[in-house]
Chains A and B, each alone.
Chain A
Amino acid sequence: MSAAPAAPLLDVADLHVWIEGSHILQGVSFTVADHGVTSLLGRNGVGKTTTVKAVLGLVPRTGRTVFAGRDITADPTHAIASLGIGYVPEDRGVFAGLTVAENLRLAERRGQTPRYELVHDLFPELAKRAAQPAGTLSGGQQQMLAIGRVLLNENRLLIVDEPTKGLAPRVVAEVADAVARVAEEVPVLLVEQNLALVRRVAGQAVVVDAGRVVHTGAVLDLLDDAERTRELLGVSRTSAPATHPQGGTA
């Protein structure tokens, strides 16, 4: 007996975003399955970060966004997040003036028991540095805090934007480990340019170029095709831990 294909967890249709007169997203459509990792890929500046921000309602957008069967297109960000979406932004978004413990406490949600044990198990550093102001943490530690924050609650979807960006190679490995572990439990929408990490978590790939989706399919199928990869993503090496390109907003 073949099961009917499960409804997508997140269904994005015809997303348009204008920022200060520029047409950044020109009709982005894709879906995120309710298991595994969906990787949002593309060169610098194509609109990846804008896409996830639009899903979360952080930028004005038109189109249709449906999460777990509910139309969230016109919802404000806090309502969308409360539905069970955890967001790890590109700049980590930790509050520098608050301590590590306060950062975590802020993420607690009413009606849910915060899973401090899980977070501290995964990131023992956070337990050790509970009273330290988050602004004094290293880049890698801040990333752990940002990830820990979204693990505190039982979220139905995690949106993670370039978690390894700007980190030293050793730290990249640690963060990649953490993301991979998390991805085993919760569906993740991952924006990444570090193709080694993308390959490791596999799943689906959605490639964006110039504000549109130009390719969807299995990640491994894409990355194993060197020519396709170079054409769509502009890189030739897909298996080594990347020296990720520096640069601007996705």
Chain B
Amino acid sequence: MNVDTEHAPRTSAPAAAQPIVDVRRTRRVPGWAAPAVVAVLLLSLPFSTLSLPGLFEGTLNSPSTLHLLATCLVFGGLATSYDLLYGRVGLLSFGHALYFAAGAYLAALLMWTLELPLLWSALIAVASGTALALVLGAVSLRVSGIALAMVTLAFAQAGSILVIRDPGRMTGGEEGLALNPDTVPGAFIGVVNTVNLYWLAVGYVVVAVGVVWWLGATPVGRVWQGIRANEQRVSVLGVNPYPYKLAAFTVAGALASLGGVVYLLVSGGVTPAITTAEFTLTLLVMVSLGGAGTRWGPLLGAVVYTYVDHRLLQLAASDVFDTLPAVVRAPLSQPLFILGTLFVLLVFFFPGGLTALPGRIRAALRGRGRAAAAS
């Protein structure tokens, strides 16, 4: 009799009474407009000498800014791959960081120990990460709900322990691994070439977002939607959800591994920080911040989160904060405090995330307009 009850039962009638949208007012914007704008923006940034003081340390095309943006984009792609699981299929995985870290660490290891060139290391790392996702996914997806969350957490934790304790003296333990400059094409080494790293990150985001969007529009994507809404109904209709869930898990893992390799190049190294459960939780925060299950939400949330995270550290290291009283300065220099608190507030007031904001504002304005018209 364990029904999920609520003390003030909400009516669950389907939304029959939605406000009639004024068709004349909404312009029919073509579906490709938003991606086109974003693409133009991303492509033009490295050529812009625009300076946004406060937001960025240098001009838009300066190495430090491009590096920050590249990092933001890498996490944007990673968050989108996580959203495939969490927002689109409804699978709560606490172990996504494992595949990201696997891609990064494997690539770094291959370049150091076997001195394989970048391309080969990347290919093997991504293939291995995908295989790992396939195997672990096959095992983990035999359960669902909280049990799935715990199993994925367990596997990721095992990976994290392996990396940190470093039994084979390979992973660099707490220190991590640096990128082996000998095996990487010169185009990716050096501050001058930061812009190439930026292009790499843009390429990754395009791939990650493209794959997730495209799959979402196929019949497979519709089954995923169905699983997210009501898995039981899907199986009653004669479709076995398991292969679809496994496919999503594997694709997400593959994209994460690819992201790991790109991250390795952009950061110039890897540390165990990306293997922790905490890191996967920040992925969850990023996705929810932007809006889970939406087209742009995870990307936007990740960019905002990463930007705030890095920018606050930059500001704390500079002398900008010195004028503030210690009581304010100390918490401000802890990005996680700001982000965590903001996130809690966001969950309360904007549960749909940032992408739901425009809609909420529009609805609020409409309501006020109506009230004003009525008075």
Complex CA distance for A60 and B11, rounded to whole angstroms? 6
Query: B residues within 8 A CB of A74?
Result: 8-9
Beyond A53-B3, A58-B3, A91-B1, whether A18 also contacts B14 by CB under 8 A is yes
Query: A residues within 8 A CB of B13?
Result: 16, 18, 62
Chain B 5-42 near chain A by CB (<8 Å), digits 1 or 0: 11111111110000000000000000000000000000
Do B1 and A62 touch (CB < 8 A)? no
Specify the chain A residue showing the minimal Cβ separation from B230: A20
Specify the chain B residue showing the minimal Cβ separation from A73: B9
Cβ of B233 within 8 Å of any chain A Cβ, yes or no, is yes
Chain A 64-102 near chain B by CB (<8 Å), digits 1 or 0: 000000000010111000000000011101000000000
Query: B residues within 8 A CB of A18?
Result: 12-14
Minimum CB–CB distance for A162 against chain B, Å = 13
Across chains A and B, the number of contacting residue pairs, with CB separation under 8 Å, is 42
Cβ of A48 within 8 Å of any chain B Cβ, yes or no, is no
Q: Which of A60, A77, A93 contacts B10 (CB 8 A)?
A: A60
**Which DSSP category, helix, strand, loop or mixed, fits chain B's interface?**
loop
Do A21 and B229 touch (CB < 8 A)? yes
Minimum CB–CB distance for B332 against chain A, Å = 43
Minimum CB–CB distance for B229 against chain A, Å = 7
Q: Which of A20, A77, A89, A91 contacts B233 (CB 8 A)?
A: A20
Interface residues of A in 35-69 (CB under 8 A from B): 53, 57-62
Query: B residues within 8 A CB of A58?
Result: 3, 5
Complex CA distance for A93 and B1, rounded to whole angstroms? 7
Complex CA distance for A74 and B12, rounded to whole angstroms? 13
Interface size class of B (residues with CB under 8 A): 10 to 19
Specify the chain A residue showing the minimal Cβ separation from B7: A76
Interface size (A, Cβ < 8 Å)? 21
Query: B residues within 8 A CB of A17?
Result: 12
Complex CA distance for A90 and B6, rounded to whole angstroms? 20
Query: A residues within 8 A CB of B3?
Result: 53, 58-59
Query: A residues within 8 A CB of B7?
Result: 76-78
Do B230 and A21 touch (CB < 8 A)? yes
Minimum CB–CB distance for A28 against chain B, Å = 15
Do B11 and A76 touch (CB < 8 A)? no
Complex CA distance for A218 and B11, rounded to whole angstroms? 33
Complex CA distance for A78 and B233, rounded to whole angstroms? 31
Do A76 and B8 touch (CB < 8 A)? yes
Specify the chain B residue showing the minimal Cβ separation from A20: B230
| Interface residue ranges, B against A (CB under 8 Å) | 1, 3, 5-14, 229-230, 232-233
| Interface residue ranges, A against B (CB under 8 Å) | 16-21, 53, 57-62, 74, 76-78, 89-91, 93
The 9 closest A-B pairs by CB, nearest first: A76-B7, A60-B9, A18-B12, A62-B11, A60-B12, A89-B1, A93-B1, A20-B230, A58-B3
A-B contact pairs, 29 of them (CB 8 A): A16-B13, A18-B13, A18-B14, A19-B12, A20-B230, A20-B232, A21-B229, A21-B233, A53-B3, A57-B5, A57-B9, A58-B3, A58-B5, A59-B5, A59-B9, A60-B6, A60-B9, A60-B10, A60-B11, A60-B12, A61-B9, A62-B13, A74-B9, A76-B6, A76-B7, A77-B5, A89-B1, A90-B1, A91-B1
